Structure 1
Amino acid sequence: MKSSEYEPQRILVGVTGGSAAGKTTLCETIKREIQYDSDVDMTILSCDSFYKGVDKSFYDISQYNFDHPDSLDFDNAFEVISTLLSGRPASVPIYCFVNHKRLDQCSIMLPAQVIVFEGIMALYDERIRDLMSYKIFIHCDDDIRLCRRILRDVKERQRTVESVLFQYTKFVKRAFENFIEPLMSQADLIIPGHRSNHVSVAFIVNHLKNMAKQNGLLREKLNTLIYFGDLLYSIDGFMRNRTKVDFSNPNATFKQLFFPEENTKPDFLYITQNFVAGKLVNQKQIYKVIKQCFKNTLLMLEKCLQQDKYEIDQLQCVHLDEILSSKFQVKENTQFIVLAIPILFKSGLKKLHQIEEKIKQYQDVQLIVVNVFSDIKTITDINWTFKKLRIYVNAFLVGKLDKFFSIMNVSSQSEPESYYKQDKFFQKLKRFIEKRQTKKN
């Protein structure tokens, strides 16, 4: 499914098993483990997203068989999976299990190096199965699956115990025997779903990492350098790798820069440790952390330019609103458009993609993104989906978004916008670049 000679071969993994066998739990565990200490990105696509809507005026919902293959739109699923494997974002339908209908809006899923398609019918369609590099079947005792299904459907899907038992005896059990259990012969690996699968998860994660390495998914993306800055801790509290990186090695996957602790004031280190622990309630203290992050981020940008031997007068600092306007013009001799983005999470990538499309008309111009806060998922998406991005500077890597939201007093229902302190950060970055340019001239 390579779209060009530079695009790596993405890996599609199928995970199937009976209802409530533990498929979603296994996939989430694999995703957490595979992204913990590697740059392999993974996304999970649920088979449940492709249920066909049910017209209640024609069907008695209690008599509708959701466990039959005809209830799923495999054509749409095949189209979405093919799009993701080709390296392009795909529109995934959103299904409401309460009203048994698809919502009007869709979710946008970005391509990843490892794409997992999970569900009771994940291995049923031959076209999708042929695209898979690895197929997993979770085998679990029927009684355990029934107990889990009752708890799940009553709590999450607003069903009654009676309706769950009726559906299970009439449809679910029969569908498992006729359509799902025979798929066991198609699986590359069969694992138990009635207990913690630490050994199985470790085996799968190591296998996927080896496949990714063989397919070239662990190599550095063409023409892109990514720099991480780390203020002692990431938000989820574990120490990141602080070993020195050999910048002379051109095959290094990531080039990392760390803020040296000896150059950071002791009171700031104390505040930072409390900041990531979620103990700060004083807005003045939080602002002090952000201000120090801004300062160190600008210094990191200068260090990046020096190491890669770029000239400061090749940079043009542009506001996010300005670059998307019809009046935007690139100055003469500009080779890099510099964007100041204080906070960037996955929801903000859409605007960044629009900006990249905008500057494609300037063939020799590339992007530099100077960012303070972002999450691991966004970092990985940036590394593999942007072609014009040359340098990405990040000061603070966020591991757990919910904890970050609470610290920054942001509602957990919505991710913070890229415009958080946008104007102030843009002015700081612009003055920083202009000052360096004036000093050189």
Structure 2
Amino acid sequence: MEKPYVIGIAGSSGSGKTFFLNSFLNHFAKQSVTLISQDDYYIPANTKTQEENRLYNFDVPTSIDRKAFYHDINALFEGKSILKEEYTFNNPNIKPKMLKIEPAPILVVEGLFIFHYEEVNNLLDYRIFIDANEQIALKRRLKRDLEERGYDHDDVMYKWINHVMPSFNTYLAPYKEACNLVIHNNTDNPQIIDNYTRDIVNELKVKLEGL
């Protein structure tokens, strides 16, 4: 199997990255693209050090099994399939699915630290940075964590101030200017995002035909 064309997609928490990513992938034929997500490589929380308020910090590079993440990306390069248990963010109400990641001509790698991990960044052919106004991002984060993950409001705010924003500023923001495409996603209109991703995908398809 030839080396896949590798697209790296990273964004701040609350940037709308997941919605953008799903829309982006829907514009490709299923057999043409595959996704590997850094989020499925979190080290179990019970192995982490808790802070005084009994919260774990998931927003640091050491929270990820970096070696396994890199190993599986390379396995996809070699045409191998990956079996991986879905990470459910410690939500006891969600039964994790077993994910089967198949190799494909286009590989999308996504996650907060994919540009910071030098060995992963060096594999990327095209880099997309999803950004959003901080207040909009925080509003989205609160909605997700309170409604979908059952977190406490004070815990969400503590993490935003002490974990999320310091991590973004240290491990993601410095790579923004080096990305091929920066998207400012301050809208929650699905049609606008869908139109935008369609245009990006069409441009990439033209680029790939020329390779």
Provide the residue aligned with 2:161 in structure 1.
169
Structure 1 ranges of 4+ moved more than 6 A: none
2:11 and 2:97 mapped to 1: Cα distance? 29
Q: Is the 8 A contact 1:44 1:117 kept in 2?
A: yes
Q: Is the 8 A contact 1:12 1:116 kept in 2?
A: yes
CA shift for structure 1 position 151: 0.7
Provide the residue aligned with 2:106 in structure 1.
114
Please state if 1:142 is matched with 2:123: no
Structure 2 length-normalised TM = 0.85
1:57 and 1:42 mapped to 2: Cα distance? 34
**Of residues 203, 207, 210 in structure 1, which corresponds to 2:199?**
203
How do 1:74-85 and structure 2 match up within 5 A?
74-85=66-77
Provide the residue aligned with 1:375 in structure 2.
none
Report Cα offsets for 1:373-395 as digits up to 9, x if no partner.
Answer: xxxxxxxxxxxxxxxxxxxxxxx
Provide the residue aligned with 1:266 in structure 2.
none
Q: Which runs of 5+ in 2 are unaligned?
A: none
**Of residues 7, 12, 15 in structure 1, which corresponds to 2:6?**
12
Q: Is the 8 A contact 2:49 2:56 kept in 1?
A: no
Provide the residue aligned with 1:48 in structure 2.
39
CA shift for structure 1 position 104: 9.3
1:104 and 1:140 mapped to 2: Cα distance? 29
How do 1:283-322 and structure 2 match up within 5 A?
none
Give the count of matched residue pairs.
204
1:104 and 1:15 mapped to 2: Cα distance? 23
One-letter code aligned to 2:79: G
Structure 1 length-normalised TM = 0.43
Provide the residue aligned with 1:287 in structure 2.
none
Aligned-pair identity in percent equals 26
Please state if 1:23 is matched with 2:17: yes
Q: Is the 8 A contact 2:91 2:149 kept in 1?
A: no
Query: Alpha carbon RMSD of aligned pairs, Å?
Result: 2.5
| Comparing 194-203 and 69-78, the one that deviates more | 194-203
1:51 and 1:168 mapped to 2: Cα distance? 18
* Structure 2 SS opposite 1:34: coil
CA shift for structure 1 position 198: 4.9
Provide the residue aligned with 2:115 in structure 1.
123
**Of residues 86, 90, 111 in structure 2, which corresponds to 1:94?**
86
* Structure 2 SS opposite 1:67: coil
Q: Is the 8 A contact 1:43 1:116 kept in 2?
A: yes
**Of residues 199, 209, 213 in structure 1, which corresponds to 2:209?**
213
Higher RCO (CA < 8 A, seq sep 6+): 2
1:44 and 1:62 mapped to 2: Cα distance? 33
**Cα–Cα, structure 1 residues 78 and 26, in superposed 2: closer, same or farther, change >3 Å?**
same
Q: Which runs of 5+ in 1 are unaligned?
A: 1-6, 216-441
| Comparing 118-127 and 206-215, the one that deviates more | 206-215
1:99 and 1:27 mapped to 2: Cα distance? 22
**Of residues 123, 147, 151 in structure 1, which corresponds to 2:143?**
151
One-letter code aligned to 1:19: S
Q: Is the 8 A contact 2:77 2:103 kept in 1?
A: yes
Larger Rg: 1
CA shift for structure 1 position 52: 0.8
1:109 and 1:57 mapped to 2: Cα distance? 27
1:45 and 1:58 mapped to 2: Cα distance? 27
* Structure 2 SS opposite 1:108: strand
1:178 and 1:168 mapped to 2: Cα distance? 14
One-letter code aligned to 2:148: E
Provide the residue aligned with 1:385 in structure 2.
none
